[in-house]
Chain A
């Protein structure tokens, strides 16, 4: 005899207990401290802050622990918290030229004013698993400190008028994508905002596709820099700017070929990527996708997925994508029942038609 499935509430409560137990693991092993996550999993923390759109290392560490290391779940947790926070105001545009650089490389010039600075990078680690526990390293400070102000590599090209000019004051006030819906066509500021919250894996694949012939834009890594940037606000009641702290950022400026069009002479064009913390893969991917999405403005053929702004911007967000893909596990009994009865009707029709007239299905064409 059928008994209606009751007790959803109790099932959920038990499931939460099981989850808490599984998250904690063996109780004999000490629980992770947030400081350990913040200090020793800093790249994970950076990604969660970036895609969670909230610069707070402590909260990101908390989210990572609560999500048992599932970065997308941690991002979701941080977003759901962020949405409840009041807005006090907006900062002034960050000045990345004044970044206190810890890493800075250029793929376009052998040497640049200020020099190439590798900084803490996995690039040349040889990826050998370190089986022995690592001993703390004491780093000696460099003999000559890095200059406090490193000119941007792209500004060197700008002086020769070889690269498109971007007037810093020409941008309209950006909209806030977390407060207003994304509408199409989206301007560049809106697109960049969407990409900066976008899933790193998705952007990486989109960027990769542009290198494999789907909207080839012949990119060069003009400059990648990482370091600390001051955050400045100008409260209305004070009328002057004050520094409220500094954050770590990774910035990538791509240089791309452009053969001219839309009244613009042949010149180099820019793709821009910015990420909180050390997020080089994300910043580089973002810069390539940003450039691909500028196809209409530059009168380039718009044919590839990475150039299609509705395709890219509508599917970049991991919280949206993860929720909707996984909602398929929710009950769909009612719709499935509707489809079942429809399919039974179609099957009966098909059987009847095959019995009588092999080549006619209710006036339609037979396969």
Chain B
């Protein structure tokens, strides 16, 4: 642990500011709370929002897990875990079940989360309407009026053009029947895990200076139409390492001839299954 910095890098006043913003976020599920995002020693776009949320929540007894693309061993996940081990000296783990706090980029773990766990998402673009309306002043008004026609028209146009909704990740959700919210760029495969999740889910967008939250047991609906219900990705393959048929699979090119194999994106889930099979 580096003694020249405060516990978990941020000073206590900044943590207090973050916690206040997080409380507001929890009180208004799905609402984007502007906050005084600090410049972090990691680049914007690499998880500065998630890192600030994690820094505000970490206590000395916490056990931290950091994943990127579902994996604990990707370089950015390693780097963020290394950062907190250095500035907070907290215990870290790769096992989902052992963690009290999980910071993630692009996935929700396959293992079901519990009430005593918090999931922190890194968010590049908190505004689900941004690609449809670039002006912030305008999107804030649309949220205030709960006017989400733009998004419904976009999804309708997908159906008109392709026969189904052509959004595969960062698939918009309606939180507690009120706020249209970005689930962050997780595959839509993970969206159902958000609905009535026992674990608190917090979202941090450092560059865009917004926080939002989905409290435990909150209704989270993926947008759809009655005649075009929401569907998740399915594979014809099983994981070639653990044999799972229910997990999200990564496609890996294994030789020069373009041979593919499919393996779990959640490395902890896959490893546990293999360990159990061997036992």
Contacts and interface: CB of A to CB of B under 8 A. Distances in A.
Interface of A: 1-2, 4-9, 11-12, 76, 79-80, 82-84, 86, 178-185, 310, 314, 319-320, 322-327, 330-335, 337-342, 345-346, 349, 361-365
Interface stretch (B23-31, B110-118, B185-193, B194-202): B185-193
Given A178-B39, A327-B45, A330-B68, A185 B137 contact: yes
Nearest to A85: B11
A2 B168 contact: no
Given A84-B5, A337-B250, A12 B34 contact: no
A326 B46 CA distance: 9
A338 B186 CA distance: 9
Contacts of B9: 84
Contacts of A5: 73-74
B169 A333 contact: no
Contacts of A80: 39-41
A340 B250 contact: no
Contacts of B36: 178-181
Contact of A6 (B73, B170, B248, B252): B73
A342 B45 contact: no
Interface stretch (B144-152, B155-163, B172-180, B215-223): B155-163
11 contacts: A4-B73, A7-B73, A79-B39, A80-B39, A181-B36, A319-B44, A326-B43, A330-B45, A337-B187, A337-B249, A339-B168
Interface of B: 5-6, 9, 11, 34-41, 43-46, 48, 68-70, 73-79, 82, 105-107, 124, 134-137, 160-164, 166, 168-170, 185-189, 207, 209-210, 233, 235, 240-241, 248-252, 254, 261, 263, 265, 267
4 closest Cβ pairs, A-B complex = A362-B163, A327-B45, A323-B44, A323-B43
Nearest to A1: B254
Given A80-B39, A181-B209, A337 B251 contact: yes
Determine the main DSSP class of B at the interface with A: loop
B40 A83 contact: yes
Given A323-B44, A327-B45, A9 B82 contact: yes
A364 B39 CA distance: 47
Contacts of B69: 331-334
A324 B249 CA distance: 26
A342 B263 CA distance: 18
A364 B163 contact: yes
A178 B37 CA distance: 8
B120 to A, nearest CB: 17
A334 B169 contact: yes
A182 B48 CA distance: 17
Nearest to B21: A181
B160 A4 contact: no
B177 to A, nearest CB: 26
Contacts of B77: 8
Most-contacted residue by chain A among B5, B187, B261 (CB, 10 A): B187
Contacts of B160: 363-364
Contacts of A86: 11
A324 B40 contact: no
Contacts of B207: 320, 323-324
A87 to B, nearest CB: 9
Given A12-B75, A334-B248, A349-B162, A327 B124 contact: yes
Given A8-B74, A362-B162, A338 B233 contact: yes
Contacts of A327: 43-46, 124
A319 B82 contact: no
B265 A334 contact: yes
Nearest to A80: B41
A338 B76 contact: no
B263 A324 contact: no
Nearest to B187: A338
B265 A319 contact: no
Nearest to B73: A8
Given A179-B36, A182-B209, A320-B44, A335 B169 contact: yes
Nearest to B265: A334
Given A84-B5, A327-B124, A334-B248, A310 B135 contact: yes
Contact of B267 (A4, A310, A314, A337): A4
A295 B207 CA distance: 27
Nearest to B48: A323
Contact of A11 (B48, B75, B169): B75
A214 to B, nearest CB: 18
Contacts of A342: 166, 168
Contacts of A4: 73, 241, 263, 267
A8 B78 contact: yes
Nearest to B9: A84
Contacts of B44: 319-320, 322-324, 327
